[in-house]
């Protein structure tokens, strides 16, 4: 039975090894090899940074003029004189000088009191909700909000709409039924398996160039498409290994991940969504020993990332969105830490944001069962990013419409 070219691609090429050449083709490249046009060079890009564990929003963006903050946290509160002032009632942790610099440049939007109704303090359930935007666990179908967005971007012609850059598993947020999302951690992961014989790629090129007269059109199509995939893999490998444009990234994992993302963006591979994470935010005890170092990673890494992008004249195309599954309780606990909370600030970074602090300062004397009250549903932030940045219909991705938050220019 004769197979169509699409059937050959879906059934025969994805993840296969061409026996004639011995070259393993990365599974995710099969779709990009089908693309007829090159990637759009001015397309906007979203980078999502997940802060895993439940970041303490009150010690990140600090209500430094509120005496209730200092009463609730006699050990953990950041002294008023050390806070980096953003507005008259909101400052940033002193370890986040990089964020202060970006804020002063008009490249940071802080959104106060973001959460969801009836908050769940389970890491797993809350993270699943943020990833899927579906409140009913039984209704979740294995897809996430970014995976659904990636599928629509793929339908619109993006050859490789999303990339996960992390050592962790691909998150549920990137789950999709239609677009394979590669997970990458180190440049060596891009190398093709050529069995140690450097001539095999050249041999494959020779096979394609020879075009034997008895070969079917479909066989030649598979050969040429495979060669295209191999060439794209080499292009990704070169992009991943190239140096930054003079930007000084910190040696942390987050800095290395953002360096890799900057290199991939610079190579113009066509990906519209990148996803990475930083863990360690579940600070139940001795928070002062850990949380400031995590915030320093964020500040230093994001500042280096945007310095790098600006040097490459790419910053205008990139938006970073940070989120955590929940904030922390207002009052510190007896272990010099904080317990699982609810609403917390979100941060968006890039030249395209509406700069400033959006929403009212948290009212620490009017709490919701010990937590900061929610001002804005996180799905309204997602909806704004989908519509106004990625130009994807938010209702199709989120399952319903949400009012747009005015957080982008």
> Which CATH number belongs to the domain containing residue 347 in this structure?
3.40.720
pTM: 0.86
Is 212 among the domain residues?
A: no
Q: Which segment of 56-70, 125-139, 164-178, 207-221 scores lowest on mean pLDDT?
A: 207-221
Give the residue with greater pLDDT, 11 vs 149. 149
Is 380 among the domain residues?
A: yes
User: What is the pLDDT at residue 375?
Assistant: 98
Is 319 among the domain residues?
A: yes
Is 346 among the domain residues?
A: yes
Range of the domain at 158: 43-194+245-398
Give the residue with greater pLDDT, 168 vs 312. 312
User: What is the pLDDT at residue 213?
Assistant: 57
CB count within 10 Å of CB 157 equals 14
Mean pLDDT of the chain: 86
Is 214 among the domain residues?
A: no
User: What is the pLDDT at residue 84?
Assistant: 99
Is 9 among the domain residues?
A: no
Is 409 among the domain residues?
A: no
Q: pLDDT per residue over 94-144, tens digit each?
A: 999 999 999 999 999 999 999 999 999 999 999 999 999 999 998 899 999
User: What is the pLDDT at residue 309?
Assistant: 97
**Percentage of the residues of the chain whose pLDDT score is greater than 90:** 67
Is 173 among the domain residues?
A: yes
User: What is the pLDDT at residue 202?
Assistant: 63
User: What is the pLDDT at residue 20?
Assistant: 37
The number of folded domains in the chain is 1
Mean pLDDT along residues 74-81? 98
User: What is the pLDDT at residue 44?
Assistant: 98
Q: Which segment of 9-18, 50-59, 100-109, 229-238 scores lowest on mean pLDDT?
A: 9-18
């Amino acid at each position: 039975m004769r197979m169509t070219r699409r059937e050959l691609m879906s059934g025969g090429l994805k993840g296969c090894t061409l026996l004639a050449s011995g070259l393993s083709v990365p599974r995710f490249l099969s779709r990009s090899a089908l693309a007829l046009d090159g990637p759009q060079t001015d397309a906007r890009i979203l980078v999502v940074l997940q802060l895993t564990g439940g970041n303490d929003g009150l010690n990140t963006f600090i209500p430094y003029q509120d005496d209730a903050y200092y009463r609730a946290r006699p050990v953990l509160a950041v002294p008023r004189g050390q806070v980096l002032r953003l507005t008259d009632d909101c400052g940033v942790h002193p370890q986040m000088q990089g964020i202060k610099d970006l804020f002063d440049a008009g490249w940071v939007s802080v959104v106060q009191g973001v959460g969801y109704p009836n908050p769940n303090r389970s890491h797993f359930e809350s993270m699943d909700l943020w990833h899927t935007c579906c409140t009913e666990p039984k209704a979740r179908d294995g897809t996430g909000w970014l995976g659904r967005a990636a599928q629509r971007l793929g339908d619109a012609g993006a050859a490789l709409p999303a990339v996960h850059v992390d050592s962790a598993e691909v998150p549920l947020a990137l789950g999709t039924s239609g677009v394979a999302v590669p997970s990458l951690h180190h440049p060596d992961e891009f190398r093709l398996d050529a069995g140690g014989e450097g001539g095999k790629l050249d041999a494959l090129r020779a096979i394609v160039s020879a075009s034997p007269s008895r070969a079917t059109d479909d066989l030649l199509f598979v050969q040429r498409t495979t060669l295209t995939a191999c060439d794209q893999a080499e292009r990704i490998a070169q992009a991943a290994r190239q140096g930054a444009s003079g930007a000084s990234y910190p040696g942390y994992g987050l800095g290395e991940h953002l360096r890799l993302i900057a290199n991939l963006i610079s190579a113009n591979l066509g990906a519209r969504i990148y996803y990475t994470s930083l863990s360690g935010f579940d600070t139940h005890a001795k928070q002062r020993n850990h949380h400031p170092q995590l915030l320093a990673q964020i500040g230093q890494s994001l500042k280096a990332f945007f310095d790098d992008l600006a040097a490459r004249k790419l910053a205008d195309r990139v938006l970073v969105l940070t989120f955590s599954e929940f904030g922390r309780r207002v009052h510190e606990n007896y272990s010099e830490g904080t317990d699982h909370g609810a609403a917390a600030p979100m941060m968006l970074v890039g030249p395209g944001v509406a700069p400033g602090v959006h929403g009212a300062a948290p009212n620490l004397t009017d709490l919701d069962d010990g937590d900061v009250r929610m001002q804005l549903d996180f799905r309204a932030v997602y909806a704004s990013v989908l519509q106004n940045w990625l130009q994807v219909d938010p209702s199709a991705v989120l399952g319903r419409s949400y009012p747009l938050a005015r957080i982008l220019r």
